[in-house]
Amino acid sequence: MPNPAYRRVLVKLSGEALQGPGEAGLHGPTLVAISNDIAEARRAGFEVAVVVGGGNFFRGVKGTAQGIDRVRGDSIGMLGTVMNALAIEGALVGHGCEARAMSAVAMPTLCDTYERNMARRHIEAGRVVVLGGGTGNPLFTTDTAAALRAVELSCDALLKATNVDGVYTADPKLDRTATRYERLTHDEAIAKDLKVMDTAAFALARESRLPILVFSIQEPGAITAVLTGKGRFTAVVP
């Protein structure tokens, strides 16, 4: 049975997680594998929302090197997040899991426009809500959007999917002496300037007393494993 403390959760996926071994775009097998993990968590009885980034298509912060101003670049990036949300929605439906893509940027011919009460009703009806468009504003990351939506939708925890099994003192792929934290407070994560999420996201989670569970999406069944206490993760808590 699901841990009642984390019955409703929001999973934050980066766009890069969907590109697999490629340098950009969507990698079909990776999309299917991640969507299967999300569907498995829903079948296990958890209520799930997803916020997805768009870095596999375009990152606004890097657009300045190409002569694109930050606001315009972020707008392009938001379009990338909606493409990813539609792809995840389609893959979930293909797994037999009801899902609904919603965008903070109105695109009514493509998907529903995000509205808090409607999103909550979808979740309560057993659908996975896949949220694109970030916050709907430039200059805010999808990490911040994830914390915001998790609070708005009364989620019990935010699951931050990464390519390592938690938060480390340094990048474990570059520093072999890096050690993994089992547990941190929001204040410690901000003070140590840990890069797993941006400061605004940590601050919003702290104010709302929202736990953040940082885990690796690389292992099959990772989401359900974390929620049932069988997986490895770092808990960032009030």
**The pLDDT of residue 221:** 95
Give the residue from 51, 10, 24, 15 showing the smallest Cα distance to 163.
15
Query: Domain 4-237 is of which CATH architecture?
Result: 3-Layer(aba) Sandwich (3.40)
**The pLDDT of residue 88:** 98
**The pLDDT of residue 62:** 66
Domain ranges of the chain: 4-237
> Amino acid identity of 62?
K
Q: Look at the block and give the residue holding tokens 């949220």.
A: 131
pLDDT by 10-residue block (mean), the chain, 238 residues: 74 95 93 97 97 89 75 93 98 97 97 98 98 96 97 98 94 90 95 91 96 95 94 94
- Cα distances (Å, whole numbers) of residue 108 to 70, 102, 188: 26, 9, 41
pTM for this prediction: 0.94
* Rounded CA separation 123/193 (Å): 33
3-state helix, strand, coil in the chain (%, to 5): 40, 20, 40
